Amino acid sequence: MKRSISITAKAALVATGLAVAAPAAAQTNLDFWSWRQEDAKAYNEIIAEFEKTHPDINITYTAHEAKAYNTILTTALAGGAGPDIIHTRAYGSLENISGAGYLEPLDGKVDFSHIPESLLRGTTLRADGKVYSVPFATQTVLVYYNKDLFDKAGVTPPETWDEFKQVTDKLKEAGITPLANGIADGWTIEVASGAIMPNFYGESFFGDVTSGKTTFEDPRYVAALGKMAELAPYMPTGFEAVDYATMKALFTSGSAAMFIGGSWEIPAWREAGLNFGFMAGPAAKAGDTRMVATWLDGGYAVNAASPNKEAALEFIRFTATPEFAQMLADKLNNVPAVQGATPKDEALQQIIKLQEHQTPYIMLVAFRYQKPTGSTLLQDGLKKLLTGQATPEEVAKAVADGLASPE
């Protein structure tokens, strides 16, 4: 009797237009951690698109301070916590957490058919050959220049090293600081080396040094270090104390004509309203191919201890699609690792063109798997080189010896 009354009551509600709502689908809440604070708006827009087709999944994007990110992440993971979705760095940095068992292997769970094998190597654990993160974007080292300051000094973008030095000399004569780069933050001078040195140590050096055919005391590498030493007179006064923030301020304010940095800088230059262009590092001599150093900037992974692993994998599968790659290019102005996107941005199109002649960003790609890392050794050596405390030969020997005798 009670059941028939209930049915009758529901029928009456429908008849009066008060339909009974169906039970709401259970929502799964996922945490997504990253170090990319500058990309929060774009990632929230991308996540919103994903949630339209996955209304049962809710993702919260949290960006931590970049320098502290690795420590914050590994501390949380070691305690059995941390986010469901993890923005990972690549190469040796990824191995530190995938090798500890904190990440879910993605082989057989994600379609990698749109991602080049060379980029997947950056998110593969060498010990077991499994992929633990979906590669997200590549970065390229570029030489940026202020078009207005170049016009003021009556110079044009150089193509060779000799032309580069002629341009820097003319800029100095015009009272303009040629280079914004300093050395207070070691990673920035390593980035600068990625623009200058490959065009002197050549295309084959990376394969030779990673295969053991040669060492960093190779004359090609020593000669390339010698070219880096020639940059010192063109850096800002007191360049030893010029950090990354100051470098950017010098360039955006028009106090310096050039800035050697990564392709990720483009949105900041645009936001500052800077009239800028960019190019590959100068060739050793006329007719030589101008190479750019590139690397995989990171990827997207799943916390192996996540209680919502399947929902997290749904988002990770999405990051391996051309649809996601297109949004990455359009909203983040990054060159996506996933193939199938057509960047609309002219700068990205130009970078992709420059990447036709690329070489790996050597210390990150191949020598970040041990301590001391190649980056630590090179950064220390470049600081001494540019301040006159070491010769190219001494820096090359210190790098070679450090890599041959890991801690």
Q: Are residue 370 and residue 389 in the same domain, yes or no?
A: yes
Reported as a single tens digit per residue, the pLDDT across 113-153 is: 999 999 999 999 999 999 999 999 999 999 999 999 999 99
Reported as a single tens digit per residue, the pLDDT across 261-291 is: 999 999 899 999 999 999 999 999 999 999 9
pTM: predicted TM-score of the whole model, two decimal places: 0.87
Q: Are residue 182 and residue 129 in the same domain, yes or no?
A: no
Classified as helix, coil or strand, 85 is: strand
Phi, psi of 171 (to 5 degrees): -65, -45
CATH for 108:
3.40.190.10
Q: Are residue 255 and residue 393 in the same domain, yes or no?
A: yes
* Closest by CA position to 168, among listed 181, 183, 155, 159: 155
For residue 313, pLDDT beyond 60: yes
If you average pLDDT over residues 2-25, what whole number do you get? Answer: 39
Task: Round the average pLDDT of the chain to a whole number and report it.
Answer: 93
Structural domain includes residue 331:
no
Q: Are residue 150 and residue 286 in the same domain, yes or no?
A: yes
For residue 174 the two structure tokens come to 């015009």
Q: Are residue 173 and residue 99 in the same domain, yes or no?
A: no
Structural domain includes residue 40:
yes
Angle between helices 219-229 and 186-196 (to 10 degrees): 120
Instruction: Evaluate the omega torsion of the peptide bond into residue 392 and state whether it is cis, within 30 degrees of 0.
Output: no
For residue 50, pLDDT beyond 70: yes
Reported as a single tens digit per residue, the pLDDT across 161-201 is: 999 999 999 999 999 999 999 999 999 999 999 999 999 99
Predicted pLDDT at 21: 45
Largest CA distance in the chain: 100
Predicted pLDDT at 95: 92
Q: Are residue 167 and residue 242 in the same domain, yes or no?
A: yes
Predicted pLDDT at 14: 37
Q: Are residue 250 and residue 389 in the same domain, yes or no?
A: yes
Q: Are residue 88 and residue 230 in the same domain, yes or no?
A: no
Determine what percent of the chain is predicted with pLDDT higher than 90. Answer: 91
Q: Which residue has the higher pLDDT, 19 or 111?
A: 111
Q: Are residue 221 and residue 313 in the same domain, yes or no?
A: no
Structural domain includes residue 1:
no
For residue 23, pLDDT beyond 90: no
Structural domain includes residue 15:
no
Please tell me the distance from the alpha carbon of residue 396 to that of residue 178, in angstroms, as a whole number: 27
Predicted pLDDT at 25: 57
Q: Which amino acid is located at 180 in the chain? A: A
Range of the domain at 146: 139-295+356-404
For residue 10, pLDDT beyond 50: no
Predicted pLDDT at 11: 36
* Closest by CA position to 62, among listed 79, 78, 76: 76
Reported as a single tens digit per residue, the pLDDT across 317-331 is: 999 999 999 999 999
3-state helix, strand, coil in the chain (%, to 5): 50, 15, 35
If you average pLDDT over residues 203-217, what whole number do you get? Answer: 97
Q: Are residue 244 and residue 392 in the same domain, yes or no?
A: yes
Structural domain includes residue 369:
yes
Residue for token pair 């094998």: 117
For residue 133 the two structure tokens come to 């993160």
Q: Are residue 153 and residue 243 in the same domain, yes or no?
A: yes
Structural domain includes residue 98:
yes
For residue 221, pLDDT beyond 90: yes
Residue 115, Cβ density class (10 Å: 0-12 exposed, 13-18 middle, ≥19 buried): buried
Contacts with 55 (C-beta within 8 Å, 6 or more apart), sequence order: 25
For residue 1, pLDDT beyond 70: no
**Domains contained in the chain, number:** 2
Please tell me the distance from the alpha carbon of residue 229 to that of residue 280, in angstroms, as a whole number: 19
Structural domain includes residue 167:
yes
Q: Are residue 301 and residue 288 in the same domain, yes or no?
A: no
For residue 9, pLDDT beyond 80: no
Structural domain includes residue 288:
yes
